[in-house]
Structure 1
Amino acid sequence: MFANRIALITGGGSGIGRAVANILAKESASIVIADQSINGANETKQLIESQVKSGVKHLSLEVDVSQMDSLKRVFKAINENYDNRVATLLVNCAGITRDQMMTKLSEQDFDKVIAVNLKGTFMATQLFCQQMIENKQTDGSVVNVSSVSAKLGNIGQSNYNASKAGVEALTRTAAQEMAKFNIRVNVVMPGFINTPIVQTIPQKVLDQLISNIPLRRQGKPEEVGEAIAFLLSPKSSYITGTILQVSGGLAL
């Protein structure tokens, strides 16, 4: 399905990013895994190369998505490693938490979460779309990752929830602006998925959250990955600017 396509996945070193990298690799995409942890990115690359013997070239890179220069180096590396071709699929999975009650939350921790989760998504999407347009590529797809917390709110996560709500607003605008270039931009909104970020939630709190999920369990990264792969694929060719909730029925 994704043969001859280059897919850039930020935050691809673990969790949902790793899951979607594996799914796309099985569909013959060339995967560029960009993560703040180069070890995590390398592990994802090794995983997909061990499971998918396709001869397709994959790439692992270190990135700080909150820094434009760092992101520019990623896009330059793609050009250099793939014969001046550009990525035509983008998944913005990079995200962090810095949880604290709002009255105690530091300005630094607020700014850092916004810089990575929202600004990083903006800058990666901007660079991706610029390269698509400059190279006259007319079949692009971007999937950004929000969170059900942006819809529900979550105690101790005013910075995180604001950043993810911002990702949704950014996506709606980008979808409208990029439609004339046939670049689709959508959002996946995961619920409580078994990823490193969710694993920071205290078990008592997590148990309470799970009790409110109609399916009565956490989701798996692969379940979100499949939804992302759908939105990247030609099967969703008439879908843009939408939010696909993958939450086990929570907050429908």
Structure 2
Amino acid sequence: MTLLKDKVAVITGGAQGLGLAMAEEFIRAGAKVVIGDLDGARAEAAAASLEGDALGLACDVVESDQVQALIDAARAAWGSLDVFVNNAGITRDATMRTMDEDAFDQVISVHLKGCWNGTRLASAVMREQKTGTIVNVSSLSGKVGMVGQTNYSAAKAGIIGMSKAAAKEMAHHGVRVNAIQPGLIRSAMTEAMPQKAWDQKMVEIPMQRAGEPREVASVALFLASDLSSYMTGTVLEVTGGRFM
């Protein structure tokens, strides 16, 4: 495919899971990719595994200078920044009664401040270019709220509001900002759930299966490419129909 031919993309949290699937999809579509991840060695290994132009760098998205370093590396290597995906995230699940402030603050910082750092810094470059796309990864938890995830649900809901506000600010500069809300996606983490919890989630999904990382990655590719050229401030659910 050539949907992203010669485009330069940065993906945070890109060393595994959804982020790595997006990197693979973008490379297949012709992009050059910078993978940022808290684990720098894993980011480098992920980049080396891709069959195309890719760099892997350590990045703590809570630190704006580290996010800026990803952007600077992309521009130094390939001259532009065309796509930025805010995908980095963590979970610190607990009921509201048992959750401590640190668990709340960490999740809010990584998801919400991290997404703000990426959106703000990427858009600063893109507005000068008069073109660019930002894709923010939210979650179904940000739509309906999940037990044990007051921190995560709040952060993921916040990403939606932030994406819409940023889309309004940046539209006249030629920069588009959209979001994805994945549901239950098959991964090492979800497959480690107790069978009872898995079965309960299956009952809620009309398509009666979990999604695959590539099924989220293909939606990210759509939003990153000109196929979605008249879309900004939108939220696309990738949930198998769960909680529609």
TM-score range, shorter chain: over 0.9
Aligned-pair CA distance for 1:203: 3.5
**1:210 to 2:205 alignment:** no
Cα gap change, 1:69/1:174 in structure 2, threshold over 3 Å: closer, same or farther? same
How do 1:212-251 residues align onto structure 2 when only pairs under 5 Å count? Answer: 212-251=204-243
Q: State the alpha-carbon separation in 2 of the partners of residues 86 and 170 from structure 1.
A: 24
Gaps of 5+ in 1: 50-55
Cα gap change, 1:197/1:159 in structure 2, threshold over 3 Å: closer, same or farther? farther
Gaps of 5+ in 2: none
**1:75 to 2:67 alignment:** no
Asked whether the equivalents of residues 97 and 197 of structure 1 are also in contact (C-alpha less than 8 Å), the reply is: no
SS in structure 1 of the partner of residue 35 of structure 2: strand
Deviation above 3 Å: which 4+ runs of structure 1? 196-203
- Residue 66 of structure 1 aligns with which residue? 62
| Equivalent position amino acid for 2:114 in 1 | G
Cα gap change, 1:156/1:202 in structure 2, threshold over 3 Å: closer, same or farther? farther
Q: State the alpha-carbon separation in 2 of the partners of residues 200 and 125 from structure 1.
A: 32
- Residue 37 of structure 2 aligns with which residue? 35
Q: In angstroms, what is the RMSD of aligned CA positions? A: 1.4
- Residue 15 of structure 1 aligns with which residue? 17
- Residue 102 of structure 1 aligns with which residue? 96
SS in structure 2 of the partner of residue 218 of structure 1: coil
| Matched positions, count | 242
Asked whether the equivalents of residues 89 and 140 of structure 1 are also in contact (C-alpha less than 8 Å), the reply is: yes
Asked whether the equivalents of residues 48 and 54 of structure 2 are also in contact (C-alpha less than 8 Å), the reply is: no
Q: State the alpha-carbon separation in 1 of the partners of residues 77 and 10 from structure 2.
A: 13
SS in structure 2 of the partner of residue 194 of structure 1: coil
TM-score relative to the length of structure 1: 0.92
Aligned-pair CA distance for 1:197: 4.8
Q: Deviations over 1:176-225 (max 9, x none)?
A: 00000111100111000013553564432222112210011110000000
- Deviates further, 201-210 or 168-177: 201-210
Cα gap change, 1:18/1:238 in structure 2, threshold over 3 Å: closer, same or farther? same
SS in structure 1 of the partner of residue 134 of structure 2: strand
| Equivalent position amino acid for 1:164 in 2 | K
Asked whether the equivalents of residues 63 and 70 of structure 1 are also in contact (C-alpha less than 8 Å), the reply is: yes
| Equivalent position amino acid for 2:184 in 1 | F
Which of the numbers 162, 176, 183 marks the counterpart of 2:175?
A: 183
Aligned-pair CA distance for 1:80: 2.6
Cα gap change, 1:39/1:201 in structure 2, threshold over 3 Å: closer, same or farther? farther
| Equivalent position amino acid for 1:219 in 2 | G
Q: State the alpha-carbon separation in 2 of the partners of residues 201 and 114 from structure 1.
A: 23
Which of the numbers 160, 164, 171 marks the counterpart of 2:156?
A: 164
SS in structure 1 of the partner of residue 152 of structure 2: helix
Q: Deviations over 1:81-118 (max 9, x none)?
A: 23xx2311011110100011101111111000000011
- Residue 53 of structure 1 aligns with which residue? none
Q: Deviations over 1:112-165 (max 9, x none)?
A: 0000011100101100011122xx312211110111111121111110000000
- Residue 5 of structure 1 aligns with which residue? 7
Q: Report % sequence identity.
A: 40
